[in-house]
Structure 1
Amino acid sequence: MPVSTVSIPVGQWFTSAEGVRWWFDSGSFALDFAYTGAMGGNPAWERLHAPDDLTTWLRDRFPVAVGTARSRDLFDAISLRDAIGRMAFAAARGDDVRAQDIDLVNLYAATPDIPPVLAGGSRQAGRSVQTVGQALSTIARDAVDLFDQANADRIRECSGDCGIVYLDTSRAATRRWCSMQRCGNRAKVRAHRARARKADRAAA
């Protein structure tokens, strides 16, 4: 698979409608960003209600200082985020990706991103605080990696009924669930109950 443009840990916590927290490894930093919104029609997952929410999310994720988001930055972020989300669902379902969404990702990817930095130097190179625009460019470049043809068969929808999309980064490409804590465990419970019912019928 292509090498990611960012070396940022992937994955984030979600809370179910029942109040249970579970860990979702999307497999991609760009997909993590897409899931700050109502991906799959779940409005409870929306995290970017105001510019401060965007600032907090970016500062929590990037290993460098990121500036304060403004209203315009929030508009740009949501536009990019939603384009990545639509592209992910289209890719997972084998549908055509909208040219407008590709253009939007390419537009942000073409702007200056957050440059990689080696620790241990004696001088400050470049900005000490990166702009929100640079952060969005970095996310867009990761999206370019995500939707590379090499990943065409690895962008998938969870085999459960949740509709969550992820990038399968497993070596054998055998991942089936958004999370073993969530849909994977539910499937195991259903399979166990089905076996128990079958055994009961056989014993009757």
Structure 2
Amino acid sequence: MGDKHGFRFHGGRPSVNFTATVGERWRDGGFERLPDPAALGRWFTEAGLTSADPRCTEADLTAARELREAVYRLMVGQVSEEDLATVNRWAGQPPPVTALVDTAEGLRSRVVSATVPSLLGSIAADAVAVLGGEDAGRLRECANPECSLLFLDTSRAGVRRWCSMSSCGSREKMQRYRAADR
């Protein structure tokens, strides 16, 4: 998994991935992967929501963390009017401005102008789509007790247990193999 404080993108959707900006939630509230405004800007870029890190302020970071926690609580079934209001308020923000561009791979949509509120709005809108749509029943928490990241189970049978087979799943298989070898 590399640096444990690095960003995780195993969730399957931007809103689910955004909840992973807190690691090891099970351990006294976990650790923050967004320690400063610059980290928030990097997350937006690494998540593929924009091509350049937007300038983020402390107020943006506070708002992002508030939205993240509201989305997380809703995704784990802890529904409150306050969290619904937070997500719905952000989902009402105008989205980032996109344009159609001609690339070597054909026509593609590209973000041409993104503000922090528009990016947070797109995360909230994605959370609304996940939680209010067919994907809600496919939200899972990683079965690795030392991980606990959320992910969208897109397997045909709907029985995926791990946020990522390359990290948590392979680690579990190795532990089972070693236990059987004893």
Of the three residues 124, 128, 131, the one matched with 1:140 is 124
TM-score, scaled to structure 2: 0.78
User: Per-residue displacement from partner, 1:40-60 (whole Å, max 9, x unpaired)?
Assistant: 245775222222222222233
Residue 77 (structure 1) aligns with: 64
Unaligned runs of 5+ in 2: 103-110
Q: Separation in 2 of the partners of 1:182 and 1:99? A: 36
Higher-Rg member (1/2): 1
Distance 1:67 1:189 in 2: 41
**5+ residue gaps in structure 1?**
1-12, 91-95, 121-126, 198-204
Which residue number in structure 2 is paired with residue 200 of structure 1?
A: none
CA distance in 2, matches of 1:187, 1:64: 35
1:14–1:23 Cα contact (<8 Å) kept: no
User: Post-superposition shift, 1:149?
Assistant: 4.0
Q: Deviations over 1:118-164 (max 9, x none)?
A: 114xxxxxx95321111110111111112124123211122222322
| C-alpha displacement of 1:64 | 4.4
Aligned-partner Cα distance in 2 for 1:59–1:188: 33
Aligned residue in 2 for 1:104: 86
Give the 5 Å matches for 1:94-173. Answer: 96-120=78-102, 129-162=113-146, 163-173=148-158
Tell whether the 8 Å contact from 1:22 to 1:182 is kept in structure 2 after alignment. no
C-alpha distance in 2 between matches for 1:41 and 1:187? 18
Shift of the 70–147 alpha-carbon distance from structure 1 to 2, 3 Å rule, reads same
The answer to whether the Cα contact below 8 Å between 1:159 and 1:176 also exists between their aligned partners in 2 is: yes
For residues 54-69 of structure 1, the aligned pairs below 5 Å read: 54-60=40-46, 61-65=48-52, 67-69=54-56
Give the match for residue 74 of structure 2: 87
Farther-moved stretch of structure 1 (176-185 vs 33-42): 33-42
More strand by share: 2
- Taking structure 1 as the reference length, the TM-score comes to 0.70
**CA gap 1:24/1:45 in 2 versus in 1, 3 angstroms:** farther
Alignment coverage as a number of residue pairs: 172
How far off its partner does 1:79 sit? 0.7
Report deviation, 1:177: 0.9
Code of the aligned partner of 2:36: A
Assess, with a 3 A threshold, how the Cα gap between structure 1 residues 14 and 105 changes in structure 2: closer, same or farther: farther
Distance 2:171 2:87 in 1: 35
Q: What does the per-residue CA deviation read over 1:48-89, in whole Å, with 9 as the maximum and x for residues that have no partner?
A: 222222222223332445641122211111111111122222
- The question of whether the paired residues in 1 share the 8 Å contact of 2:139 and 2:151 is answered with yes
SS of residue paired to 1:181: helix
